[in-house]
Amino acid sequence: AQRVTQPEKLLSVFKGAPVELKCNYSYSGSPELFWYVQYSRQRLQLLLRHISRESIKGFTADLNKGETSFHLKKPFAQEEDSAMYYCALSAQYGNKLVFGAGTILRVKS
Amino acid sequence: DAGVTQSPTHLIKTRGQQVTLRCSPISGHKSVSWYQQVLGQGPQFIFQYYEKEERGRGNFPDRFSARQFPNYSSELNVNALLLGDSALYLCASSLVPGQMEGYTFGSGTRLTVV
């Protein structure tokens, strides 16, 4: 079965502090992993995907197959990063996304 | 490009009623997927349609059905509504199934069942 776990419902950090949003997954094959973000009153949008290995808005995420993790990191949090973050996986050549429950990131000034 | 558009944005229904939600994909996208997002949870996959055929179905009862039209727009129907069907219903479109590049979500329809 495909499952995504985000252990933290809420992560609160100060501006300029490092951020790590945790994501663990279970899937027997080779999944594609994503981070989606939802800012207040906006639609769900893709932040990054492990295949592209990009850094978007200063965020990075590395797929660790041994630990089945895909944690989202940013060295210095900014207030505009405050949002709901969802980790998701898609089975190889799959046709659906499996989402975690999400983590609210609050960046305090 | 208008992006993925969903209608209506909000609606309120009574238990036992039926509801139809609509989705128009991004121009050129031929695949549409539906998700249910209950408050406090991540989106959960309901259906995927491509070329008017069902390509995938999540773990939802038969009260949930969908269809896709020749112009690639889609409708999600829910019969015999239950209080637990209250949720944000999201539509996502992509060029073809399995291609996550360009996979785009709409703003959703907020359904409240009373």
Query: How near does any CA of chain A get to the CA of B5, in Å?
Result: 11
Evaluate whether B93 touches B4 at the Cβ level (below 8 Å). yes
Helix ranges (H only) for B11-101 are: none
CB contact under 8 A, A95 and B105: no
CB contact under 8 A, A88 and B48: no
In this prediction, residue A93 has a pLDDT band, given cuts at 50, 70 and 90, of low
Quick: pLDDT tens for A26-82. Answer: 988 888 999 999 999 899 999 998 888 777 899 999 899 899 999 999 999 999 999
Instruction: Return the pLDDT at B96.
Output: 84
**Residue A11 pLDDT more than 90?**
yes
Comparing alpha-carbon positions, the chain A residue that sits nearest to B40 is A101
DSSP summary character for residue B3: -
Instruction: Return the pLDDT at B1.
Output: 58
Q: Which long-range contacts (CB under 8 A, 24 or more apart) does A51-58 make?
A: A57/A81
CB pairs under 8 A between A and B: 46
Place of tokens 């492990």: A50
- For chain A positions 48-107, those within 8 Å of chain B (CB to CB) are 49, 86, 88, 90, 93-102
On chain A, the residues whose CB falls within 8 A of the CB of B107 are 43
User: Span A73-97, mean pLDDT?
Assistant: 91
- The residues of chain B scoring below 70 in pLDDT are 1
Please calculate the CA angle A60-A94-B95 and round it to the nearest 5 degrees: 85
